[in-house]
Structure 1
């Protein structure tokens, strides 16, 4: 479900930041694969974009993203539906109706339980149980780490026997160039408002190792309108400088070296309609 904390949970379970996070819904655009290997098991996670009812989707890009997310569920061994600890929403009902057509065990993972009282959790569980037959219901707080070891144990118990797909040191199939672009986009989500972060298309044009353990990164940020470009750049370039500064620190933390980040903002009209 959008904004339920899927990416935060994936990062916590894997122990590395492979997916960007934001308080805003629909931050994740691509399906992200990550893995964690134990002595007795290897668990491969697919972090999908939040799924919305297709009748509510206004542009072709978002429709394609949701269709791909639904399609990806057919190739997995176990589905974890991550929801917030509130009453069942129309989006939840749409997802559950789609899950009824997929013959896979489904976990209901109720995230953010630190925000509610125990008796409220019981009520939420009962409401979901009237709508779907879950293989397991696990309440967690991804942010605080509550019950994550329990969740991982239950996941491992429900996986089929199979040789490991990846080497034990494999973490993600996200190329560094793609992850760098996502980290920049994360800061755009953090610092801008309204439609701006959803109007952004980001492309990493250069990713180049230079002397003295320095990496030069040049990224183009495209928006749909001149007014959006003005907001993204900000007065005297203040906004784009702030985005660049925060993104640079996050990228350096991820890559473990110094980087020079060069950001450029341009316009591609109606790019989400194509």
Structure 2
């Protein structure tokens, strides 16, 4: 039996549920999620093997109007991820109005001449009858290969989406080995898990101004992982908030992160964290690249 494969980009505005869908598709957590916009900063490949077919889903940052060089990088990731793929999933909210971000994405998809599936997420939050007007609004903008309502949070519609995506698979070698579920190095996954806990526990702008660098990642003979991480923030006042009174906030963030790191690695993890200030790093091309946000991702 010959192998078939397809590369499919998931695109949409911030907080529409792209990363939640990516995790639901793979069946395990490989990309971080939070209630804050612009959680995802890099393109992340999620790999699904189904019989003779390999589907590679590209989770992208939310498409938005950038305000920093980091924001510029994130938007460029989205644009480049729409080109040279077998299909695009345009993920939208169940609202009967096509927003500016969606119209811009549709224009880019049309320009790339790539087939597109419309996925309407969060259907668990609305009456099913209201979806008809949502579908009509989007079909006025573009001819979609399929329209699939889903609830990424509850995995509703995910099986139907995977079946539809298989139609875009073409014969040829697999993109990745069959035992891989993501293209992200383990160090990068660990850094992202720590950043997720910052997003969950810190308010306002502070978590958006943070980056995480793994400075030590080593495995002992008994399989235990020793992990050391530095959290960078933009202001000394932010450093104090991240550490918290008597170090309680940093301890909480580190404990939550360690638990998720252990789930991902399947072994015991010893995690040490530090906090340092790098003012205005989001507008420094050098520091953006140094923290792993490069065009190679």
User: Which deviations, in whole Å up to 9, do the C-alpha atoms of 1:88-111 show, x marking residues without a partner?
Assistant: 222212222222211100111111
Of 247, 254, 272, the match for 2:264:
254
User: Which deviations, in whole Å up to 9, do the C-alpha atoms of 1:213-266 show, x marking residues without a partner?
Assistant: 321111000111111111111111111111001001110111111111111000
User: Which deviations, in whole Å up to 9, do the C-alpha atoms of 1:31-75 show, x marking residues without a partner?
Assistant: 1112111113110111111111xxx31111111121122112112
CA distance in 1, matches of 2:66, 2:51: 43
Q: Report deviation, 1:161.
A: 2.8
Residue 142 in 1 paired to residue 136 in 2? no
CA distance in 2, matches of 1:88, 1:228: 37
Where structure 2 has 5 or more consecutive residues not aligned to the other structure, the ranges are 1-12, 285-297
Contact 1:202 1:222 in 2 (8 A): yes
Residue 46 in 1 paired to residue 50 in 2? no
Q: Which residue matches 1:71?
A: 80
Q: Report deviation, 1:172.
A: 1.3
* Aligned-partner SS, 1:88: coil
CA distance in 1, matches of 2:118, 2:283: 34
The count of aligned residue pairs is 271
**TM-score normalised to structure 2 length:** 0.88
CA distance in 1, matches of 2:165, 2:52: 13
1:101-250 paired onto structure 2 within 5 Å: 101-250=111-260
Q: Report deviation, 1:163.
A: 2.9
* Aligned-partner SS, 2:83: helix
Q: Which residue matches 1:57?
A: 66
* Aligned-partner SS, 1:28: coil
Q: Which residue matches 1:20?
A: 32
- Call closer, same or farther: CA 1:77–1:220 in 2, change over 3 Å: same
Contact 1:222 1:268 in 2 (8 A): yes
* Aligned-partner SS, 1:75: coil
Name which structure has the greater RCO, CA cutoff 8 Å, separation 6+: 2
Q: Report deviation, 1:136.
A: 1.0
* Aligned-partner SS, 2:160: helix
**TM-score normalised to structure 1 length:** 0.95
CA distance in 2, matches of 1:98, 1:263: 41
CA distance in 1, matches of 2:238, 2:177: 44
CA distance in 2, matches of 1:66, 1:27: 13
Q: Report deviation, 1:132.
A: 1.5
Residue 80 in 1 paired to residue 89 in 2? yes
* Aligned-partner SS, 1:260: strand
* Aligned-partner SS, 2:90: strand
Q: Which residue matches 1:2?
A: 14
- Call closer, same or farther: CA 1:114–1:69 in 2, change over 3 Å: same
User: Which deviations, in whole Å up to 9, do the C-alpha atoms of 1:158-209 show, x marking residues without a partner?
Assistant: 3333332222212111110000000001111111111011000110000112
Where structure 1 has 5 or more consecutive residues not aligned to the other structure, the ranges are none
